[in-house]
Amino acid sequence: MAASPVEYTIGGVKIHFPCKAYPSQLSMMNSIIRGLNHGQHCLLESPTGSGKSLALLCSALGWQQAQLGKSALTETNEKKESQPKKSSLASRLSEKLQSCLSSDCGKDDDFQPDRKRIRPAETKVVIDAFIYFYFSIQPPQPCSRCSCDSAKESVKDRDTDGKKEIPKIFFGTRTHKQITQIAHELKRTVYSNVPMTILSSRDHTCVNTEVVSHFNRNERCKDLLEAKDGKSCRYYHGVQKMRDQYTLQQVHGLREAWDVEDLVTLGKRLRSCSYYAARELMQGASIIFCPYNYLLDPMIRESMEINLAGQILVLDEAHNIEDCARESASITLDYKSLQMSSDELDSMVNNNIRRSKHELLRNFCYSLINWIQESKSLMLEREYEAASKVWSGKDIVGIFHNLGITADTFSILKQNLAAILEKEERVGFVNGKEDMVQIPIISSATSTVLKNLFMVLDFLYRENCRFAEDYRVALQKSYAWNNQVPPDVPDAQGFFVRPYRRQRQSVRIKTEVLTLSFWCLNPAVAFSDLSWSVRSIVLTSGTLSPMGSFSSELGVKFSIQLEANHVINKSQVWVGTVGAGPQGRKLCATFQHAETYAFQDEVGALLLHVCQVVAKGVLCFLPSYKMLEKLQDRWTKTGLWEKLEEQKTVITEPRGGVKGDFDELLQVYYSAIKNGEERDGALLMAVCRGKVSEGLDFTDDNARAVVTIGIPFPNIKDLQVELKMRYNDQHCKARGLLPGRCWYEIQAYRALNQALGRCIRHRNDWGALILVDDRYRNNPNKYITGLSKWVRQLVQHHNTFSNAMQSLVAFTQGQQKVHVAPADSQTPCSTVSSSNCHLPVTVEGQSQPKASQPQTPHSYINLVEIYEPDITTRKYVEVTYLHTGLANAYCLWGSRQD
């Protein structure tokens, strides 16, 4: 039975929710509304399975609709003011009251026209009548001393016409698959018909079979749009069939929230380009979904024509946002790509095509190539067949100055690049006849190389080289083995002879690989484009903890922060640390210990016991692919791998690989759990920060236990990690950054929390989280505090392996007896007992009136969070305005300690 829709009014904003909300959802919506009302930024952690997506969508869209309502009301009032007014009884009484209270009232003035003077007794009657009509007609207005005061409008909220400009919601998440899940959540709400679009790549949206079959879809699409070989894209010419919201909803029937597959299906049917249609639909959309690198990366923002000024930015699954922001302001350039670009520019110069403009860009590439060749001698060996040389951003600015590349010349280079990319026609000869021909332009590959370089140089030279110190430039040398077919060699007579039906054997050749990396070590560089221009940034995830680094790393003040509790009961999850294996050997997964056979054998025996105790699906996360490969190799030799396979179907996460192959492995895993007869479910061996740990849903039997081996610290020998730690140490005092070691540890806990989040996906789910490492018990203040709030509250340390297994057996048997049915696993906001609710809320149409309280047709809820002076107590106020003849206000106070 589906839950009934519920209406909340939080911070003066009416929010329609598909069912009764969890306390964590109410906390999130309250925080979001406060942030949007005041233009503040929010950092919100809510565990997976607590209905985070619904709370995000309903609160943001509810706020947006409230702004639309206010805008419409303002326009209506302005129109009414321009027309003659017909005075109502209430307005006449109000005027009478003001007249009575004016300074002239009651004075004897023989020069005034005769009028009936209002005596004091009559004055009281007028005031009473005024109050009666005011409260019976007017809805409650937001107060001016708390977060519900959203009536204030700044100049930036209005466009050039003086009308209030309603902010769009840009909703970014990590992957296209997660966007599909969010779109399905939106469909469950009353906001499912809001104008929307989904920005995506050609790989997901192109419907032209000629482009889809091409190995480089972007390149082929651009060739067709430019009609380089005489062909053009017929689908692009049909884009007008689905480019606006009215046509999409009213003509083609996409009235409710849709996903990319729906748009692609429609595009195929209409022979219309769904890629460009999605971009066109952005103009009239209220909410725009996209992967969040589309919003962070300045290159993608420019190509997609995304303007975030004054808009609302929601970044879901934002636990990796710091890394993503750094990457969006960084590039790694392959030396061969730079050479190919310079060769193409040289060809343009030699063929006298926009010669002066191409010549400057070619000379820029030549300067860079020569400098790289000269700098090879400065590189130092780091490890076997690997060498590098690192410069600071300030050093590079000086070096480039000597090469003739300055802020002024860079500005000229940018103008030249823009000029050579413009389409232009001139008179030419085609088949001996004079005709208009298009001037050739550089390939998209060369264009990409130059644009990426210029994006980084733009950051380096911006605001008098403000961000130069935030960059490190690394020239790196390594070697790669490639298969190469030897060329045909002519015989003495000059003929090329090749044996019939015999292929030439390819030869493995070791080649030198040179790369030039411009690494941004400060994510605030990319965020600087956003934080000053958007109205509000809302960062959310199930695993933001530890939250301490976000403000300093992103350079954004998050005035509103929240760590919400989980919606499950404590009895539904087992969280334990295990520091020893079945043989009693201590398990500490540091590099030195993890390399020993004793550690590897003990971990294998522990995992086998867990698989025997826990039925159905078990996930095991390791710190790296290197450890996964070593364990698999060792266990295969000792026979342990065979024992694991006798117990469960064992699947290992592949390193990289094709997406289709990975999806196929997952289906094998799910199938083994659902249909397994010979063996009891499946074991999935995966890696923290890999595909399995990021955003995949292992609900119910698909993950009855998650085992984490060790703590997934990043590779400290990685050059970029090393430079980032040094950078933080250098600027921790001046900029408030975390010291390098603290930053390094936080990366480990974020990855660990993300892996643990694969278990417990809805309110009725249950499972065990097994943290294998002795460091948790020996130093809990250091190693437990980094875990998510809901996990660290439940951690139990077990002195011996046998104690841990006894406790785990009791837990799993108890849960199997209770056998909580997963009927509402797709309904994260199922009914919650009000006794567990931290925020007392009276819901319209569901609250039972007290005996002394008159039955009322309508009520408003105003939920306000008030901070006490000591900042330790928060009080939640609920004011219900009852509209009968006279106004009655009921205030319910509840308090809680955070």
Instruction: Give me the pLDDT at residue 349, please.
Output: 93
Same domain? 648 vs 793: yes
Instruction: Give me the pLDDT at residue 139, please.
Output: 36
Same domain? 30 vs 15: yes
Instruction: Give me the pLDDT at residue 786, please.
Output: 86
CA distances (Å), origin 490, targets 496, 497, 506, 507, 705 = 5, 7, 18, 19, 65
CA 26 – CA 49 distance, rounded (Å):
15
Residue with tokens 């725009």: 288
Could you tell me which residues come within 8 angstroms of residue 635 by beta carbon, excluding any fewer than 6 positions away?
A: 600, 604, 641, 644
Same domain? 616 vs 689: yes
Instruction: Give me the pLDDT at residue 156, please.
Output: 41
Instruction: Give me the pLDDT at residue 82, please.
Output: 67
Same domain? 675 vs 790: yes
Instruction: Give me the pLDDT at residue 678, please.
Output: 75
Q: What would the DSSP string read from start to end of 656-675?
A: S--HHHHHHHHHHHHHHHHH
Please report whether residue 808 resides in a domain: yes
Instruction: Give me the pLDDT at residue 548, please.
Output: 74
Instruction: Provide the number of structural domains found in the chain.
Output: 3
Please report whether residue 501 resides in a domain: no
Buried/exposed 715-754: b ≥16 CB within 10 Å, e otherwise: eeeebbbbbbbebbbebbeeeebbebebbbbbbbbbbbbb
Buried/exposed 756-780: b ≥16 CB within 10 Å, e otherwise: bbbbbbbbbbbbbbbbbbbbbbeee
**546 preceded by a cis bond (ω within 30 of 0):** yes
Same domain? 561 vs 597: no
Q: In what order do the strands lie in the sheet with 617-622?
A: 649-652, 682-687, 617-622, 705-709, 767-772, 573-578, 795-798
Same domain? 709 vs 802: yes
Instruction: Give me the pLDDT at residue 658, please.
Output: 66
Same domain? 552 vs 614: no
CA 510 – CA 296 distance, rounded (Å):
37
Instruction: Give me the pLDDT at residue 112, please.
Output: 37
- Which of 769, 791, 818 marks a domain boundary? 818
Pair 676, 618: CB distance under 8 Å: no
Please report whether residue 110 resides in a domain: no
Please report whether residue 275 resides in a domain: no
Instruction: Give me the pLDDT at residue 783, please.
Output: 86
Please report whether residue 158 resides in a domain: no
CA 292 – CA 41 distance, rounded (Å):
17
CA 733 – CA 746 distance, rounded (Å):
18
Please report whether residue 146 resides in a domain: no
Same domain? 464 vs 560: no
Amino acid, single-letter form, for residue 601: D
Same domain? 671 vs 804: yes
Query: How many CA atoms within 13 Å lie on the side-chain side of 156?
Result: 9
Instruction: Give me the pLDDT at residue 778, please.
Output: 87
CA 621 – CA 604 distance, rounded (Å):
13
Same domain? 592 vs 550: no
- Which of 776, 797, 818 marks a domain boundary? 818
Instruction: Give me the pLDDT at residue 122, please.
Output: 39
Please report whether residue 335 resides in a domain: yes
The first and second tokens of residue 102, run together, are: 């004016």
CA 653 – CA 657 distance, rounded (Å):
10
Instruction: Give me the pLDDT at residue 327, please.
Output: 93
The first and second tokens of residue 101, run together, are: 């209270």
Instruction: Give me the pLDDT at residue 758, please.
Output: 87
Instruction: Give me the pLDDT at residue 870, please.
Output: 30
Same domain? 705 vs 648: yes
Instruction: Give me the pLDDT at residue 506, please.
Output: 67
Instruction: Give me the pLDDT at residue 898, please.
Output: 31
Same domain? 635 vs 562: no
CA 700 – CA 764 distance, rounded (Å):
9
Instruction: Give me the pLDDT at residue 431, please.
Output: 62
Q: Taking the C-alpha atoms of 239, 243, 247 and 252 in order, what is their torsion angle to the nearest 10 degrees?
A: 60
Q: What would the DSSP string read from start to end of 378-390?
A: G-EEEETTEEEEE
Pair 438, 450: CB distance under 8 Å: no
CA 705 – CA 161 distance, rounded (Å):
59
The domain that holds 663 is classified in CATH as: 3.40.50.300
Query: What's the burial of 893, exposed, middle or buried (CB within 10 Å: 0-12/13-18/19+)?
Result: exposed
Q: Which residues of the chain have pLDDT under 50?
A: 1, 90, 93, 97, 100-160, 820-828, 830-898
- Which of 818, 844, 859 marks a domain boundary? 818
pTM above 0.85, yes or no: no
Q: Taking the C-alpha atoms of 564, 695, 699 and 801 in order, what is their torsion angle to the nearest 10 degrees?
A: -80
Return the DSSP state at 353: S
Please report whether residue 113 resides in a domain: no
Q: Tell me the residue range of the domain where 61 lies.
A: 1-74+542-566
SS3 of residue 407 by DSSP: helix
Q: In what order do the strands lie in the sheet with 6-10?
A: 13-17, 6-10, 859-867, 873-883, 887-897
